């Protein structure tokens, strides 16, 4: 067994390091991975969803046993109950074990806070349709956006969720969450899946199979209008391009991670970054909107 310390703060930045540590443990051939959360105080919505997908990947594809070590004593830290209320533990695979115990939120609290959308699995588009009321409430609670801007964000959500069912080939659907961070005036929307990822989707298409696109290049390409696995003449590939337009319109920050690559665009500062990390199959996207 190997123990991997989860950082004090887990956002997209620290998650890359966590993935590296996990990758090293895979190389070393450990059968059980214990994630030590004893020093962890903050996990962003994106961090939570990435962690859930990482556990799914380790159990299903790498045949690992996963234990979450949550406290040195028999009592859980308050932070763990916050994560429980935000739905993180409920979305973890059943095979994950906990020490000292699995934190459980009060059942009555789920879905009752209009300002958030807890980490929620999306299994089909019918169920996703029903989520839009909650998406809308969360946006209205956290921002000063007018109805038109709310529709813009709902459009982004629908396009990203649509991509999960159309392109990801994920057997388990996707995950969505919305959380507001008052101190930094940001509302984070996360939509993710553990499918084949954007790079594989494009590489499998006729148009791109000979292009030798890197993961970063494939992600960047997918943000352009008309780019899809169906080819440029197919009148497809508008969804993600529309999300980029709308993120730009609202001065948001867009982060897309797919397989090994990631691309981050900060529209309010007209700048972007990209990088390469370890493999986590699928596509995980967050959009940070300025909040009140």
Partner 1 sequence: MKINIYDEVGKRKRLFFSDSGVKLRERIVKKIYAEKAHDLVILNFADIEVVDVSFAREGFVKLISMLSTDEPHPQLLFLNVNDYVKQNLDLSMKEHKKKNWELIGKYSEQIRETVCALIKLKETTAKRLSKKLNIELTTCNNRLMSLYEMCVITRMQTGQKSGGIEFIYKLVI
| Contacts with partner 1, residue ranges (CB under 8 A) | 125, 128-129, 132, 148, 151, 154-155, 158-159, 161-162, 165-166, 235-236, 238-239, 242
Give least dist CB 85 to partner 1, A: 28
Tell me the C-alpha distance between 229 and 210, whole Å: 13
Nearest to 4 by CA among 12, 20, 117, 13: 20
Residue 117 near residue 135 (C-beta atoms within 8 A): yes
Closer CB to partner 1, 162 or 205, in the complex? 162
CB 116 within 8 A of CB 179: yes
CB nearer to partner 1: give 23 or 125. 125
* Rounded least distance, CB 167 to partner 1, Å: 11
CB of 122 closer than 8 Å to CB of 85:
no
Cβ proximity to partner 1: between 221 and 238 the closer is 238
Helix (H, G, I), strand (E, B) or coil at 133: helix
Distance from C-alpha of 40 to C-alpha of 80, rounded to nearest angstrom:
9
State both tokens at 154: 């709902």
Nearer to partner 1, 81 or 151 (CB): 151
Q: How far is the CB of 248 from partner 1 (least distance, A)?
A: 14
Q: How far is the CB of 125 from partner 1 (least distance, A)?
A: 5
Are the beta carbons of 196 and 61 closer than 8 angstroms? no
Question: Considering beta carbons, is residue 102 or 242 the nearer one to partner 1?
Answer: 242
Question: CA distances (Å), 134 to each of 110, 181, 239, 242, in order?
Answer: 12, 17, 21, 22
Least Å from the CB of residue 151 to partner 1:
4
For residue 42, what is the enclosing H or E element? strand 42-43
Cβ 140 to partner 1, closest distance in Å? 14
**Min CB(223)–partner 1 separation in Å:** 14
Residue 276 vs residues 65, 118, 257, 264, 285: alpha-carbon distances, Å: 27, 29, 9, 12, 15
């Amino acid at each position: 067994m190997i123990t991997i310390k989860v950082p004090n703060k887990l956002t997209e930045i620290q998650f890359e390091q966590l993935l590296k540590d996990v990758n090293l443990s895979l190389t070393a051939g450990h059968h059980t991975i214990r994630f030590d959360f004893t020093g962890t105080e903050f996990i962003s919505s994106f961090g939570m969803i990435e962690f859930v997908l990482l556990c799914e990947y380790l159990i299903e594809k790498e045949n690992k046993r996963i234990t979450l070590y949550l406290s040195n004593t028999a009592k859980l830290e308050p932070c763990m109950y916050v994560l429980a209320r935000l739905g993180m533990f409920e979305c973890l695979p059943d095979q994950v074990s906990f020490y000292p115990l699995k934190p459980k939120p009060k059942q009555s609290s789920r879905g009752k806070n209009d300002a958030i959308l807890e980490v929620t699995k999306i299994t089909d588009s019918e169920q996703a349709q029903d989520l839009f009321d909650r998406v809308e409430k969360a946006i209205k609670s956290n921002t000063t956006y007018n109805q038109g801007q709310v529709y813009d964000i709902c459009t982004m959500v629908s396009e990203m969720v649509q991509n999960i069912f159309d392109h990801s080939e994920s057997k388990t659907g996707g995950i969505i969450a919305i959380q507001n961070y008052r101190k930094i005036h940001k509302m984070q929307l996360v939509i993710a899946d553990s499918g084949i990822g954007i790079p594989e989707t494009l590489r499998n298409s006729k148009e791109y199979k000979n292009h030798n696109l890197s993961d970063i290049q494939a992600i960047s390409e997918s943000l352009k209008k008309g780019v899809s696995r169906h080819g440029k003449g197919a009148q497809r590939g508008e969804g993600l391009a529309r999300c980029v337009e709308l993120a730009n319109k609202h001065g948001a920050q867009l982060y897309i991670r797919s397989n090994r690559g990631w691309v981050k665009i900060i529209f309010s500062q007209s700048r972007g970054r990209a990088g390469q990390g370890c493999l986590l199959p699928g596509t995980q996207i967050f959009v940070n909107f300025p909040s009140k």
